[in-house]
Structure 1
Amino acid sequence: MQVSEAIIARRSVKSFDPHHRMTDEEIHKLMSLAILSPTAFNIQNWRFVVVTEPVLRQQIRAVSWNQAQVEEASLLVVLTADLNAWAKQPERYWRNAPQAVQDYLVPAIGNYYRDNAQVQRDEGMRSCGMAATTLMLAAKEMGYDTCPMDGFDFDAVGKLLKLPEDHTPVMFVVIGKALEPARARAGQLPLDEVVIYNTF
Structure 2
Amino acid sequence: MHIDEAIRSRRAIKAYDTNHSLSREEKDELLQLALLAPTAFNLQHVRLVEVSDPALRQRIRDVAWDQAQVTEASMLVLVCARLDAWEKDAARVWAEAPQPVQDFMSGAIDTYYRGKPQVQRDEVMRSCGLVAQTLMLAARGKGLDTCPMDGFDFDAVADLIRLPENHAIGLMVVVGKQAVAARPRIGKLAFDEAVIRNQF
User: 1:129-168 residue pairs with structure 2 within 5 A?
Assistant: 129-168=129-168
- Please give the TM-score of this superposition, normalised by the length of structure 1: 0.97
Instruction: Note the C-alpha offset of 1:44.
Output: 1.1
Which ranges in structure 2 are unaligned for 5 or more consecutive residues?
Answer: none
Q: Which residue of 2 aligns with 1:48?
A: 48
Instruction: Note the C-alpha offset of 1:19.
Output: 2.2
Distance 2:85 2:56 in 1: 26
Distance 1:97 1:5 in 2: 36
Would the aligned equivalents of 2:43 and 2:89 in 1 still touch at CA under 8 Å? no
Distance 1:89 1:195 in 2: 37
Distance 1:89 1:169 in 2: 19
- Please give the TM-score of this superposition, normalised by the length of structure 2: 0.97
> What letter is aligned with 1:188?
K
Distance 1:184 1:197 in 2: 29
User: 1:17-166 residue pairs with structure 2 within 5 A?
Assistant: 17-166=17-166
Instruction: Note the C-alpha offset of 1:96.
Output: 2.0
> What letter is aligned with 1:56?
L
Which ranges in structure 1 are unaligned for 5 or more consecutive residues?
Answer: none
> What letter is aligned with 1:99?
Q
Instruction: Note the C-alpha offset of 1:191.
Output: 0.6
Distance 1:50 1:24 in 2: 10
> What letter is aligned with 2:117?
A
**Count of aligned residue pairs for this structure pair:** 200
